[in-house]
A and B are shown apart, each in its own frame.
Chain A
Amino acid sequence: MRTELSEFLKSKFADSLTEQELFRDQQSFVVKPDSIVSVCEALLNDENLEVKFLADITCVDWLGHEQEKQGRFEVVYNLYSYKHSYRFFLKVRLDGESPCVRTLTGLWKGANWLEREVFDLFGIKFEGHPNLTKIVTPDELEGHPLRKDFPLTWEQPVFSWNKDDPPEVRNER
């Protein structure tokens, strides 16, 4: 499955595939943001690969790391093929200014909540999402808590005890 998959992507999406990685036996591909929907659609509908399960969508914030040069945010799509019992990752790199990528809700309805969560916690916009609203944080909260520049102890809602004077962040880094 590993070689088949990379052959498939290389032959069909040579322009949009920018990088391949293999870390701890896990294969991941970096694709261009504007092609993520077409890549996923091709993988989903291919009769041989049958990548039917979108296990997860998440994001990594590389703020302050040397990887930030390639794009601050890395949206990770965790895909799985039942037929081959094989898991791999598609990654999309986005800049920190106005991160935006097309939605996958047209292919998987389960992407709805996963994308809303990434939007809520990282502020990544998913174009074409039917209901891109906050999902876990309170409505009053401004900002996106899982971004690295969001302080660890900041509490914004009105009942907060440290609203005006958040304590210094204790980071063990």
Chain B
Amino acid sequence: MKRRVVITACSAITPIGYGKENIVQSLQQGRSGVKPLRDDGLLTGHIHSRVFGTVDYPIAYEFTRSQRKTMGPVAYYACQVAKDVLAESGLPQEFISSGRLGVAFGSTHGSPTVQREIYKTFFQNLETEFSSIGAVDYLRSMVHTTAVNITRMFGITGRVIASSTACTTSSQAVGFGYEMVKYGMQDAMLCGGADEYDTTTVAVFDNLLACSVGYNDRPECTPRPFDKKRDGLVVGEGGGAVLLEEYEAAKKRGAPILAEVIGFACNNNGGDLILPNLQGITSTLRLALQDAAIGPEAVEYICAHATATKMGDIIESQAIEAVYGRGPFVSGLKSYTGHTMGTCGVIELIMTLYMMADGFLAPTLNLDEIDSRCAMLTHTPGLIEAKTNIAAIQNFAFGGVNTCLLVKNGLEAV
């Protein structure tokens, strides 16, 4: 059984805004969400990269204590966007709790904020006489905390997939959710990812010389995907969720069709866990086209992974050229948000949906002088009006995991 799968609701909390209006405004006005790295009182002083894709606006959470008690900061982002999506969908509680709706949701490593508090107890020998580690600390910090806090909050009883593959966490969530619905295992899937403010991740990439360090005094000027003067990625935070539904059921209940997911691919480089791999990535892009049963000429826009690392952008450019030639417009939207890690895939998908819906494409921010090794692509030349029918969202992760999602404009899908 193969069924059509459509996106009927979405929501994102990002460094450039929360909700469609704010995010579209930032994309259209070229507004960066990269700010100075907040002081965590622990690692910040030792990190060379002093920039962060920051969610610094207030969010009016309305979670009860009973809901909050198992949630770390990462679950706040996750549950808030999930709440938005379920509210927007209008799905009745009877369906939500029927077992036919599942959740595919992840984060890079649960809640590092809560984990840090646990380690403080160990290493500072605090209150060893008492039960210093709270009963709920595991529930707040565990790697599947986002997925199961969502199921708990909304009474969702279907399947749970809690991917945790760094930068492909949420693109895998959407892809695996798509396959769940496509092959009839579930009728709908709530998919996405979230990651909280965390300096551990910054320190890791900083140690690997992968973080941007040259723009600490001008945070909005970095990251600079495909630019000659790019000097690395900028870690960020946020959350995003989409609702996937079986097309016929969505149509029958009159749900708005934001887009159709027409293809997904996920593979692994089968070797090095850090270095980008041209063969692996190229293969992912081709596999997604095969899954969608379309040729490369059908794709009009590519939302590139484009983290602004020295090698990553070049390898991705080569892969795009090998599969697509100069055909589609390409932009790297991490230039606005920074690299929101586990949530980047779904956030970039949602930004792509917004651009498709409103008929424009945003360029890569800070792309002042294209690196000659990335110049073989059709970089989106500034903010342009464009009616995009089919778009690709590409994400690649530490561990050698690659994903590509292909989506069709909702207006075309109906």
On whether the two chains bind one another, the answer is no
> Which chain A residues have a beta carbon within 8 Å of chain B's beta carbons?
none
